[in-house]
Structure 1
Amino acid sequence: MSDYGHPLEFGSFITPSAADPARVVALTVLAEQAGFDLVTFQDHPYQPGFLDTWTLLSYAAARTSSVRLAANVTNLPLRPPAVLARSVAALDLLSGGRIELGLGAGAFAEAVEAMGGPRLTPGQAVQALEEGIDVIRQIWDTDARGPVRVDGRFHRVSGAKRGPAPAHDVGIWLGAYKPRMLALTGRRADGWLPSLAYLKDGDLAAGNRIIDEAALEAGRKPADIRRLLNIGGRFTDAGHGPLVGPAEQWAEELTDLALTDGVGTFILASDDPDDLRRFADEVIPAVREAVTAERSGTRTLAPPSALPSASVAPARDTASPGARPGAPARKAGRSPFAVTPTPDDGVRLSGTVVWDEQTRPTGPAPDPDRTYTEHDLATGRHLIQVHDGLRGELAQIHDLIGQVEAGTIDVGTARSHINTMTMRQNNWTLGTYCESYCRIVTTHHTIEDRSLFPHLRRADPRLAPWWTASNRSTTSSTRSSRVSTRPWSRWSPPPTACPACGTR
């Protein structure tokens, strides 16, 4: 086990897509607002579908104020180290000390060569990277006397002036996987930055050993090198493998990586704003709390049966949808009805009565003799998720409006945040087809209200309004009074017409 005691940090790994630059920047702003410590972008200068990473970093630094920024990782063969050193220092000074330097030896030799860079063997690439680090550190070291001199095989600097110095001690993190790169990390770097998707079981522990040994041989402490990790996964209701499951499973697995493999910085690779928010809201606080408790000796570990397995994905049909990993298994392939609408939170933004809640069909109680497959339940769960997502984004819009009114954020920041939302993306996608879309939705709901629901009500007496059977003698005035005090719909107030096309 290796816990280097590093303070935990969390970052995002955003694709620098040239197809939608505004979205890339909006995701960066969102990450800062959500509380991430770091935002990173991959650097592949030969990729025409990507924005230039250092230009993007400069723009992103101007649009943010607190989050740190880095390339993940910089392609050194196409970034001359002396020029790169001054670029990093300049941006660090301009941003108030918020730039870090991820470095890579250049994995795609053909693409590098096609862009005019040198074609190097793996061994040569490692040597060139070490020489580049020497150049960069000398440029930054303004306390040393004399000009910069590096007489390397691949990088030669003869008499360049030093400076400027960065605003803070910029960390150099190496994207390393093979023994020579790992040893270089231990000797010369400030951090190790691999991607979990490229690692096999045991690679983190083996990499740590090589780095630690190289650090000790160089007279350094193993804890001098921060361990960072690019991660990816998927949030689901139940666990289906490593980092595929509910937020609780994510938190448990990342906590184990921190305490067992010494990872101090987790960087989430995702361009999904909902994933970024969920990671920030549910995973980060849980991991911080668990690691702090473990280090202080106050953590209470859950029994093994309650923890998800990182090596064996649970069968999809052995537990109810939404059940946490480790819950008692039910009959394989079948489960009781377990689709439950999200409870009403009671929040009302208007006193307007939209419809009579007492006439809403509530549905019969689940049939105890009926079981449902995962396929049977999927549609109901999906419908709930869609509406929950829309409600969540509406709540975020209300919150943003409140922040603008309070003066805590400006209109541009609020707009950038809204631009990452699903409903905004859908609006852009629909474009000129908004009117047709709204009319289809109106037709859909009208068919339900006038045909489908009445038919179902006639076919099954249990779908009648809940008060009908026991209150048929209630007077109209009494019913009216009862309706007026009934809690209003969660969708309050609803739009009376589409603001874009006027369709009701």
Structure 2
Amino acid sequence: MDFRIFTEPQQGASYDQLLAVAKATEDLGFDAFFRSDHYLAMGDGDGLPGPTDAWTTLAGLARETSRIRLGTLVTSATFRYPGPLAISVAQVDQMSGGRVELGLGAGWFEQEHLAYGIPFPSLGERFERLSESLEIITGLWQTPVGDRFDHDGTHFTVKDSPALPKPVQSPRPPIIVGGMGPKRTPALAARFADEFNIPFQPLDAVSAQYERVRAACVDAGRDPSAMTFSVALVLCCGATEVEIARRANAIGRDVDELRANGAAGTPAEVVETIERYRAVGASRVYLQVLDLADLDHLELVAKEVVPQIS
């Protein structure tokens, strides 16, 4: 089981805070540091000091870490044109020595688009743009040096592109696709993704969606075992009930609700929860850490949870 730390900086975080968490992630032996790609706080938070750009952040972290993998869960296809996004991710892959992964989704949070002047088309169009973006990004990365890349789509046209720069990883950085859509999402994952992720869903929903993705892989002529399956769970772990309650209160959540829906409770309870997801096929877990100042939280999980599973 791979253990990855997943942050939500739009809720309020500076680059220095993210750097501290990323360094702790590396020092404590976790597999990766990931962050969301959002521009607006959700819920009641004020989001101070304001949003940090995902790929600018990861570029900085690429130079200040040496081992952990880095990526987004997930970048919205509405935020960036696919050609410039392919350039940015390839450059960060170079800066990290080949440690970058790209999670890409259709986008869903309308208010952040309105707040920063980003068009927010219909769901159908957003999904079409996601599909074309994946075609273009992977096409640009995998075009041999010296050849040219073209794409004539409904929303994007690419003509005579030199398809540069190239990422370090060959044939390309891993692509992560996720979500609960019953038809188009599994088909898109089977076509483009190295990893399929489901965030914050109960076990039965995760199991059913994994089966849909496996079936889509078979329909696409792909071996389902080539797909990595992952989940994202809110983390709230404590050595005592007092510590668990303190950490739940710090993120504005109820302990019982977290125990029912996240990776919460004592280390033994968190192990049990993750093992249930592993039993339905998850081989990677993203632990959503919402209190970025609580680095002791990461240390507890590294010492008391990870060794019991991996």
Structure 2 vs 1, CA of residues 109 and 60 (structure 1 numbering), >3 Å: closer, same or farther? same
Which of 258, 272, 288 aligns to 1:269? It is: 288
Superposed displacement of residue 195, structure 1: 1.1
- Amino acid of the structure 2 residue aligned with 1:264: S
Residue of structure 1 in register with 2:216 after alignment:
214
TM-score normalised by the chain length of structure 2: 0.83
DSSP-derived class of the 2:67 partner: coil
**CA separation in 2, counterparts of 1:85 and 1:206?**
32
Q: Give the structure with the higher percent strand.
A: 2
Alignment of 1:21 with 2:24, yes or no, is no
Superposed displacement of residue 131, structure 1: 0.6
- Amino acid of the structure 2 residue aligned with 1:220: R
**Runs of at least 4 residues of structure 1 off by over 6 A?**
none
Superposed displacement of residue 81, structure 1: 0.8
Correspondence 1:119-134 to 2 at 5 A? 119-134=120-135
Is the 8 Å Cα contact of residues 11 and 37 (structure 1) preserved in structure 2? Answer: yes
Alignment of 1:103 with 2:104, yes or no, is yes
DSSP-derived class of the 1:250 partner: helix
Is the 8 Å Cα contact of residues 237 and 301 (structure 2) preserved in structure 1? Answer: no
DSSP-derived class of the 2:130 partner: helix
Identity of aligned residues (%): 30
Residue deviations 1:469-493, cap 9 Å, x none?
xxxxxxxxxxxxxxxxxxxxxxxxx
- Amino acid of the structure 1 residue aligned with 2:128: Q
**CA separation in 1, counterparts of 2:51 and 2:175?**
23
Of structures 1 and 2, the one with the larger relative CO (CA 8 A, separation 6+) is 2
- Amino acid of the structure 1 residue aligned with 2:9: P
DSSP-derived class of the 1:233 partner: strand
**CA separation in 1, counterparts of 2:148 and 2:119?**
26
Which of 232, 235, 251 aligns to 2:234? It is: 232
- Amino acid of the structure 1 residue aligned with 2:21: L
Structure 2 vs 1, CA of residues 142 and 186 (structure 1 numbering), >3 Å: closer, same or farther? closer
Residue of structure 2 in register with 1:79 after alignment:
80
Is the radius of gyration larger for structure 1 or structure 2?
1
DSSP-derived class of the 2:78 partner: helix
Correspondence 1:159-308 to 2 at 5 A? 159-168=160-169, 169-179=172-182, 180-196=184-200, 199-236=201-238, 237=240, 241-242=259-260, 243-258=263-278, 260-270=279-289, 271=292, 272-288=294-310
- Paired residues in the alignment total 278
TM-score normalised by the chain length of structure 1: 0.52
Is the 8 Å Cα contact of residues 139 and 163 (structure 1) preserved in structure 2? Answer: yes
Is the 8 Å Cα contact of residues 143 and 149 (structure 2) preserved in structure 1? Answer: no
Superposed displacement of residue 183, structure 1: 2.5
Residue of structure 2 in register with 1:149 after alignment:
150
**CA separation in 2, counterparts of 1:75 and 1:261?**
28
**CA separation in 2, counterparts of 1:225 and 1:27?**
28
DSSP-derived class of the 1:193 partner: strand
Is the 8 Å Cα contact of residues 38 and 67 (structure 1) preserved in structure 2? Answer: yes
Output the aligned Cα RMSD. Answer: 2.1
Correspondence 1:274-423 to 2 at 5 A? 274-288=296-310
Superposed displacement of residue 28, structure 1: 0.9
**CA separation in 2, counterparts of 1:19 and 1:287?**
30
Residue of structure 1 in register with 2:26 after alignment:
32
Residue of structure 2 in register with 1:467 after alignment:
none
**CA separation in 2, counterparts of 1:23 and 1:46?**
18
- Amino acid of the structure 2 residue aligned with 1:70: G
DSSP-derived class of the 2:211 partner: helix
**CA separation in 2, counterparts of 1:45 and 1:235?**
28
**CA separation in 2, counterparts of 1:200 and 1:266?**
14
Residue of structure 2 in register with 1:115 after alignment:
116
Superposed displacement of residue 165, structure 1: 2.1
Is the 8 Å Cα contact of residues 3 and 30 (structure 2) preserved in structure 1? Answer: yes
Superposed displacement of residue 69, structure 1: 0.5
**CA separation in 1, counterparts of 2:157 and 2:205?**
34
Alignment of 1:42 with 2:62, yes or no, is no
**CA separation in 1, counterparts of 2:31 and 2:115?**
35
Residue deviations 1:116-162, cap 9 Å, x none?
43322222222211110010011101328742211111222122112
Is the 8 Å Cα contact of residues 176 and 185 (structure 1) preserved in structure 2? Answer: no
Is the 8 Å Cα contact of residues 203 and 276 (structure 2) preserved in structure 1? Answer: no
- Amino acid of the structure 1 residue aligned with 2:87: R
Superposed displacement of residue 194, structure 1: 2.1
Residue of structure 2 in register with 1:475 after alignment:
none
Is the 8 Å Cα contact of residues 141 and 163 (structure 1) preserved in structure 2? Answer: no
Residue of structure 1 in register with 2:251 after alignment:
none
Residue deviations 1:151-177, cap 9 Å, x none?
111222122112322111311101322
**CA separation in 1, counterparts of 2:115 and 2:158?**
25
**CA separation in 2, counterparts of 1:221 and 1:200?**
26
- Amino acid of the structure 1 residue aligned with 2:176: W
Alignment of 1:139 with 2:143, yes or no, is no
**CA separation in 1, counterparts of 2:271 and 2:13?**
33
- Amino acid of the structure 1 residue aligned with 2:187: A
Structure 2 vs 1, CA of residues 144 and 207 (structure 1 numbering), >3 Å: closer, same or farther? farther
